[in-house]
């Protein structure tokens, strides 16, 4: 089987990778094994800040179960609509911080379902997450890698997704082509407010900011807000998949364990940016 070109590049020398049976290979001779599920590990050992960086197996499994239940489907639908607007035929799509692949899968299905030929890459720091994402996707490429050192060449990406993940602006500017779209998802002010009221004695609402970033034009903010009834094991999974799992005092956890269900607000804000061309950046536009 002859190798084919990849959107990924070597994390050591930056050379373009080629997919070969069971591995990725760069012109410099660096080789990376492909896991049984199809993903590749592109996080060098000297760049790992923990033995197992990123979300652990428990948090990843909880998020996978919860998202598979369709609770965040309205957000996924909104992202798919924007992706259809921003990614034409032949586009390259990157999901930075793809997690277990729920939104990656949705965007892939929307674009290919519309008859568009696209190339897709998802990266995440968490190996358990990337493993699950590889099982979700029928095609595309998935890699364990850092958003702050994206294994993608400059100006290669037409649409970049970032859902609740680190905002690596310098890398996003580097890999996005001029005119490319950047969709940045953050929680809205009231996101999971009712859950916070159970967990904390003095809960706070999320801060909302519309911040322009150098190198990007601010196109829009798309709000998504609705109520959802979450019960039984799904409520426990929602708790475990959030940062609250590590920050909640014992009393709050006891209150949550005493509930059979909870009606919760889901609120998101999708910030839509486009990559400015170099001359426009120099002019301060």
Pairing assessment for the beta strands 4-9 and 16-20 based on DSSP bridges:
antiparallel
CATH code of the domain made up of 39-282: 3.40.50.150
Strand order in the sheet with 92-96: 40-41, 141-144, 119-124, 92-96, 157-163, 176-187, 261-275, 216-231
Phi/psi region, residue 143 (left: phi>0; alpha: psi -120 to 50; beta: rest), is beta
CA distance 23 to 32: 5
Reported as a single tens digit per residue, the pLDDT across 118-157 is 999 999 999 999 999 999 997 889 999 999 999 999 999 9
Q: What is the pLDDT of residue 5?
A: 83
Whether 281 shows a pLDDT value over 60: the answer reads no
CA distance 167 to 176: 14
Q: What is the pLDDT of residue 53?
A: 66
Reported as a single tens digit per residue, the pLDDT across 242-280 is 988 888 999 999 999 999 999 999 999 999 999 999 765
pTM tops 0.85: yes
Whether 48 shows a pLDDT value over 90: the answer reads no
CA dihedral 200, 75, 66, 232 (to 10 degrees): 60
Reported as a single tens digit per residue, the pLDDT across 216-227 is 999 999 999 999
At residue 65 the predicted structure's pLDDT band, cuts being 50, 70 and 90, is very high
Whether 1 shows a pLDDT value over 60: the answer reads no
Whether 167 shows a pLDDT value over 50: the answer reads yes
Whether 195 shows a pLDDT value over 60: the answer reads yes
Residues of the chain with CATH 3.40.50.150: 39-282
At residue 44 the predicted structure's pLDDT band, cuts being 50, 70 and 90, is confident
Instruction: Identify which of 189, 191, 220, 212 has the alpha carbon closest to the alpha carbon of residue 85.
Output: 220
Q: To the nearest whole percent, how much of the chain has pLDDT over 90?
A: 83
Q: How many CB atoms lie within 10 A of CB 256?
A: 18
Q: What is the DSSP string of the chain?
A: ---EEEEEE-TTT-PEEEEETTEEE-TT--EEEBPTTS-EE---GGG-SSSS-SS-HHHHHHHHHHHHTTTTHHHHHHHHHHHHHH--TT-EEEEET-TTSHHHHHHHHHHHHTT---EEEEEES-HHHHHHHHHH-SSSEEEE--GGG-SB-TT-EEEEEEESS---HHHHHHHEEEEEEEEEEEE-TTTTHHHHHHH-SS--PPP------TTEEEEEEEEEEEEEEEEHHHHHHHHHTSTHHHH--HHHHHHHHT-SEEEEEEEEEEEEEEEPPHHHHHTT-
Q: Using an 8 Å Cβ cutoff, are 169 and 163 in contact?
A: no
Reported as a single tens digit per residue, the pLDDT across 16-40 is 999 999 999 999 999 999 999 999 9
Angle between helices 102-113 and 73-86 (to 10 degrees): 50
């Amino acid at each position: 089987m002859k190798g084919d070109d990849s959107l990924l590049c070597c994390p050591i020398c930056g050379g373009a990778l080629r997919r070969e049976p069971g591995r990725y290979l760069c012109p410099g001779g660096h080789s990376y094994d492909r896991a049984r599920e199809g993903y590749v590990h592109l996080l060098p050992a000297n760049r790992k800040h923990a033995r197992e960086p990123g979300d652990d197996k428990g948090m990843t499994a909880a998020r996978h179960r919860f998202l598979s239940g369709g609770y965040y489907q309205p957000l996924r639908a909104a992202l798919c609509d924007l992706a259809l607007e921003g990614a034409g035929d032949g586009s390259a799509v990157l999901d930075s911080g793809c997690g277990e692949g729920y939104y990656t899968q949705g965007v892939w299905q929307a674009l290919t379902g519309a008859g568009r030929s696209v190339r897709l890459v998802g990266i995440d720091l968490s190996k358990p997450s990337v493993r699950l994402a590889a099982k979700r996707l029928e095609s595309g490429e998935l890699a364990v890698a850092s958003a702050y050192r994206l294994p993608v060449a400059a100006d290669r990406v037409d649409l970049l997704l970032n859902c609740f993940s680190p905002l690596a602006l310098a890398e996003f500017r580097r890999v996005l082509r001029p005119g490319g779209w950047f969709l940045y998802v953050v929680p809205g002010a009231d996101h999971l407010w009712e859950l916070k009221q159970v967990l904390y004695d003095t809960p706070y609402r999320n801060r909302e900011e519309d911040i322009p970033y150098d190198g990007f034009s601010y196109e829009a903010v798309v709000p998504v807000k609705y109520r959802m009834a979450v019960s039984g094991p799904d409520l426990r999974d929602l708790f475990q998949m959030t940062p609250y799992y590590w920050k909640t005092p014992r009393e709050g956890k006891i209150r949550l364990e005493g509930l059979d269900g909870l009606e919760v607000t889901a609120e998101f804000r999708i910030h839509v940016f486009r990559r400015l061309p170099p001359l426009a950046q120099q002019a301060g536009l």
